[in-house]
Homo-oligomer: A and B are copies of this chain.
């Protein structure tokens, strides 16, 4: 069998898993990403709220790949740090900002990006939280607001600096709100004793409940818990405009706020292609049940980029889906090597967990829904186990122990860097 070249674009959960699963396939595998590290997205909110060092949740891709080849001698996984500019179906090439690469099989795993839903000012003034850079920018903003507020003599401007708004009541919005309360009750109270009680924390959700992907009673619990923690939750509230100093709602309410964190929408982040490909809602690519593109049998799309259904309902875009799809495409590509036809993907749902913070969370495993401290602990445990690298795992565990035992956080640098 000739060595075939499999190119994987994107080193998120799906792409990295596909690379690992293909490591001993005998194929030449090339993984492309614009960063030289893999970001553990589920813990981004802890970077944004100053709990974790950015380096703990970002893992150098070459180290991860080296780990594959240590275990599997035959591994031929290479890495290229580059920006993909176009994919040419007829020539079977991927054009990057530095070179052109040919492929026999292509796995697209470029994930999603923030969608501002056409709200005026959101792109310019709201903070998105999809990358490590963006999470650090939120951390800088939060601490800058406090340092600004302590010097501010005008009380309405000070209140504006101390009002933090989160748009979107999904898992990310809830996580950020809860982690913010933890910050407030912990070191912000000690560092800014005159300010912390003036802080307003606002969570705006367009639908009638929080965590819409989960059973209704979990959303209700989350609402109550956040309310208890002092978060002002606005349900059935659409955002109509964002400015550098306020958030406008559909009912004409204007909230003076210097910080708007946008977690409300995602859209597929797909590369430019030479020919049009069929896409569904939010730009997600339509795929066969085997995860192949409708038009191209040697191209697969996985993770947030692909529109996939299970039992007639769309998948929700969580990491386990991308991981299982990474394994599935690796298997299907190897079937194609051997002249067999690919098999349909089926998602095995182990359950869902969401963390609220302050020792509470919610979860659903099978038909069993539960809330409280057990869900909180399970969330932390599961994410610790999935974090790549034993060193990161140890450091994150130590940091969490430090945070929850001493209620202190050490990452509160306001650190601006040069632009790329």
How far is the CB of A82 from the nearest CB of chain B, in Å? 7
Q: Mark A134-151, 1 if CB is under 8 A from B, else 0.
A: 001100000100010001
Contact of A60 among B36, B191, B389 (CB under 8 A): B191
State the majority secondary structure of interface residues on A.
mixed
User: Are B413 and A147 interface neighbours, CB within 8 A?
Assistant: no
User: Are A392 and B410 interface neighbours, CB within 8 A?
Assistant: yes
Q: Does A53 contact B (CB under 8 A)?
A: yes
Complex alpha-carbon distance, A151 and B392, angstroms: 29
Nearest B-chain residue to A56, judged by Cβ: B53
Which residues of B are found within 8 Å of A385, using beta-carbon distances?
none
Which residues of B are found within 8 Å of A191, using beta-carbon distances?
60, 62-63, 66
User: Are A35 and B414 interface neighbours, CB within 8 A?
Assistant: yes
User: Are B137 and A413 interface neighbours, CB within 8 A?
Assistant: no
Complex alpha-carbon distance, A261 and B37, angstroms: 24
Q: Does A350 contact B (CB under 8 A)?
A: no
User: Are A133 and B417 interface neighbours, CB within 8 A?
Assistant: yes
Complex alpha-carbon distance, A106 and B192, angstroms: 25
A418-B137, A419-B418 known; A54-B413 Cβ under 8 A: yes
User: Are B414 and A417 interface neighbours, CB within 8 A?
Assistant: no
From 383 to 417 in chain A, residues with beta carbon under 8 angstroms from any chain B beta carbon are: 389, 391-392, 394-395, 398, 402, 408, 410-417
User: Are B410 and A147 interface neighbours, CB within 8 A?
Assistant: no
Which residues of B are found within 8 Å of A394, using beta-carbon distances?
398
Q: Mark A53-84, 1 if CB is under 8 A from B, else 0.
A: 11110111011001000000000000011100
Complex alpha-carbon distance, A63 and B143, angstroms: 13
A82-B151, A99-B151 known; A410-B35 Cβ under 8 A: no
Q: Does A420 contact B (CB under 8 A)?
A: yes
| Count of this chain's copies in the oligomeric assembly | 2
Nearest B-chain residue to A136, judged by Cβ: B417
Which residues of B are found within 8 Å of A224, using beta-carbon distances?
none
Q: Does A190 contact B (CB under 8 A)?
A: yes
Q: Does A187 contact B (CB under 8 A)?
A: yes
Q: Does A132 contact B (CB under 8 A)?
A: yes
User: Are A415 and B54 interface neighbours, CB within 8 A?
Assistant: yes
Q: Does A98 contact B (CB under 8 A)?
A: yes
Complex alpha-carbon distance, A63 and B191, angstroms: 7
How far is the CB of A109 from the nearest CB of chain B, in Å? 20
Q: Mark A183-211, 1 if CB is under 8 A from B, else 0.
A: 00001001110000000000000000000
Which residues of B are found within 8 Å of A398, using beta-carbon distances?
394-395
Which residues of B are found within 8 Å of A133, using beta-carbon distances?
415-418
A66-B191, A415-B133, A419-B416 known; A410-B55 Cβ under 8 A: yes
How far is the CB of A100 from the nearest CB of chain B, in Å? 12
Which of A82, A190, A416, A417 gathers the greatest number of chain B CB atoms within 10 Å?
Answer: A417
Which residues of B are found within 8 Å of A190, using beta-carbon distances?
66
Which of A82, A389, A415 gathers the greatest number of chain B CB atoms within 10 Å?
Answer: A415
Nearest B-chain residue to A153, judged by Cβ: B99
How far is the CB of A358 from the nearest CB of chain B, in Å? 22
Which residues of B are found within 8 Å of A58, using beta-carbon distances?
413, 415
Complex alpha-carbon distance, A63 and B156, angstroms: 28
15 residue pairs A–B, Cβ–Cβ below 8 Å:
A35-B414, A36-B143, A36-B414, A37-B412, A53-B53, A55-B55, A66-B190, A66-B191, A133-B418, A136-B417, A391-B402, A392-B410, A416-B417, A417-B418, A417-B419
| 6 shortest interchain CB distances as A-B pairs | A417-B417, A416-B420, A62-B191, A81-B147, A53-B55, A60-B412
User: With A37-B414, A54-B415, A55-B411 given, can you name 16 additional A-B contacts, CB distance below 8 Å?
Assistant: A35-B414, A36-B143, A36-B147, A36-B414, A53-B53, A59-B410, A60-B412, A63-B410, A80-B151, A132-B413, A133-B416, A133-B417, A395-B398, A416-B420, A417-B417, A419-B419
